[in-house]
Structure 1
C-alpha cells in the first residue's frame, strides 16, 4: 500500500466567500487508517479578525506550517503596526510552501477572509504553493464528495458568460451556512475521515463568530 498525505488525516476543510462574509469550516476528527486519534483537533488557524487558514492532509506538517505562519504574522505586525491583509497572507503562504517544494509540507490549504473592500476572499493551494482566488474551495479526504455539491450550488453556469460573472456567491449568509452544514453532513455519511464535529468560523465586518456542528461519531 502506497503512502498518502492523508495517512495522518485532517479530514475535510472548506471555505465559502460571499459579498460581505466568509465562512471557514473544518471537521475535528483526526485519524489514521481505521483508528481515530482524536475527535477534537482544530484545523483552523485564525491570524486576525479577518483572516483564517485551514489545512487538510498530514497534521504533523499542518501544525508545523501553522507555527511558521503565526511567527511570520507576529513579525509583520511588529514591523508594520497593523494586521496582515488576506491577500498578504495568501502570498506569504504561497512563498512558504514554494520554499519547501523539494521537501514539501504534505498539506492542502485554504486561506479565507475579507479583503480590503470587505468582500469575501478564498484562496486554494496545492502542496507546493500554487494558488488562485475563487468564491469557494474544498480540500481533504471528503473533497470528492463535497466539491460537486459546491459546484452545483455556487458555480457560474459558464466561464464564458458576457459580462463575466463574479466568482463570489450571491447567497445570503444564512443560506450559505446551511449549504456548508449540509455538505459536511453528507460527507460524514460516506467518508470515514470526516466526522465527530465541524468547527465553523464566520467572518463579517461586524466581527468573527464560531459555531459547532455535531456529526456522526462512528
Structure 2
C-alpha cells in the first residue's frame, strides 16, 4: 500500500484530524501537495492513508450518502454512523478492496474517532494513527495524549506526531493539513510546514 501518515485526536469538545501531503510510489515522489483530510459532513471528517484515488472516491461517496441519510432522518449524522457506512462500503469491496486506511472523527454529541482498515473493520478510540508512519506517530501520541486536552494541545500533539513520522518515513512529509471539528462545525487550521 502506498505510504502516508494521518492522525486523529479527540480533545475536550472536538476532534483534530491531520495528515501530511506527500504522495510517493516506490522511489518516485509524485506530489508534495495532496489533500488527505476530507470533510464528510459539517461535523464529521476523515483522514486517510493509502491510494489517493481510493481515498477521494470513498470520501465523495460517503459524503453523498451522509447527505441523503441526513435528509431521511432530519438530523445530523454522527461519526459512528459515517464510520459504519464507510465500513459497509469497504467490506462490500473486500475482494477488490479500496487500498486505504481511514480515521473517521467528528462531533455530534460527544467527540469520537474510529479507525478503519481496508476491509472495513471499525475500531473506536480516543486517538489513532494510520499509514506507513503510524508507528512513529503513535510513539509520540501514546505517552503525550491526555483525555480532555485543549484544542491547542491536540493540534500541537498532532503536528508533533506527523512530523515525527515524516522524519523516519520516506513516504510521509511535505507539510500538513489539519481539520478541526467541534460543535460549531469543521474548519481548517493553517499550519506552517
TM-based fold match above 0.5: yes
Question: Larger radius of gyration, structure 1 or 2?
Answer: 1
Partner of 1:60: 53
1:42 matched to 2:20? no
Q: CA deviation at 1:26?
A: 0.9
Query: In structure 2, what is the equivalent of residue 212 of structure 1?
Result: 190
The answer on whether the counterparts of 1:87 and 1:115 sit within 8 Å (CA) in structure 2 is no
- The SS at the match of 1:42 is coil
1:20 aligns with 2:10: no
Alpha-carbon contact 1:44-1:52 (below 8 Å) kept: yes
Asked if 1:85 is matched to 2:78, the reply is: yes
Question: 1:180 maps to what in 2?
Answer: 158
- Tell me the equivalent position of 1:194: 172
Q: Which has the higher contact order (CA 8 A, sep 6+)?
A: 2
Q: Given that residues 108 and 127 in structure 1 are in contact (C-alpha distance below 8 angstroms), is that contact kept between their aligned partners in structure 2?
A: yes
Q: Which one of the candidate residues 102, 120, 123 is aligned to 1:132?
A: 123
Give TM-score, length-normalised by structure 2: 0.91
**TM-score (norm. length: structure 1):** 0.82
**TM-fit CA distance, 1:51:** 0.2
Q: What CA RMSD, in Å, does the superposition of the two structures yield over aligned residues?
A: 1.7
State the distance in 2 between where 1:73 and 1:91 align: 11
| 2:20–2:174 contact (8 Å) kept in structure 1 | yes
Q: CA deviation at 1:56?
A: 0.6
Instruction: Tell me the matched-pair count.
Output: 193
Distance of 2:174 and 2:42 partners within structure 1 = 26
Extract unaligned runs of 5+ from structure 2.
Answer: none
SS in structure 2 of the partner of residue 213 of structure 1: coil
Contact 1:197 1:212 in 2 (8 A): no
